[in-house]
Amino acid sequence: MTDDPYGALDQPTDAGAEVTPRPVAQPQPSAPPEPEPLGYQYQDANTDYAYGPPQQNSGAYGVPFYGQQPQPYAPMVQQPFYGRPLLEDLSAPDAPLRGANLVESYKRFWTRGLTFSGRASLAEYWWVFLIHAVGFAGFSMLSSAFEGGALGGLLGTVGVLYILAAVVPGIALGTRRLHDTDNSGLLQLINLVPWLGSIVMIILMAQGPKDAGKRYDKINQR
């Protein structure tokens, strides 16, 4: 006899009996780890509050910890800009009339007196310019011939009223003519420069039409 309580199990009860070995316990397979759940994550103040697995080594709202280098942003790729094609409607109320005659040009001067969009052709502008140049010269001679009389005073009054009435239509016509050359109507402010401004404006108004000037038409501004 021994003091080992398990020693009796190792000794046969009978001298002629066979010893049956004890079965060895087999290791049980461990359960697979549960997958990390996806979706909205919230653990503590240093967790990235975003959908998907939390980012490593980042603070709250994806802000890096102090002393940690931020991840570089991917360079932005500039996308090409494709503008829509410029339309042209020759029947529009602000479309230019190529090859307009004297009557058509003077009529458009008044009927489009408040139209600052669109374009005006070379003929539209220079026919009106010629009418005014010749008309003012002849009107000045008549006023001088009847100066001091009742007729001279009446002619002077009519001349002043005509000039006042033609100021706005003249600015509108100049604006449309500059649009036809792909220039802004604000360039008419050059006229405020004595002598030099008039020369520059004559050069600008004498330029031919440009396709890019269609952008000032109302049909292309919608």
- With contact defined as beta carbons under 8 Å apart, do 108 and 85 qualify? no
pLDDT of 78 reads: 45
- Predicted pLDDT at 20: 61
| Per-residue pLDDT at 134 | 94
pLDDT along the chain (222 residues), means of 10: 53 55 64 59 51 52 60 50 75 93 96 96 96 92 81 85 96 97 94 92 95 92 78
Q: Tell me what pLDDT residue 151 has.
A: 80
pLDDT at 87: 87
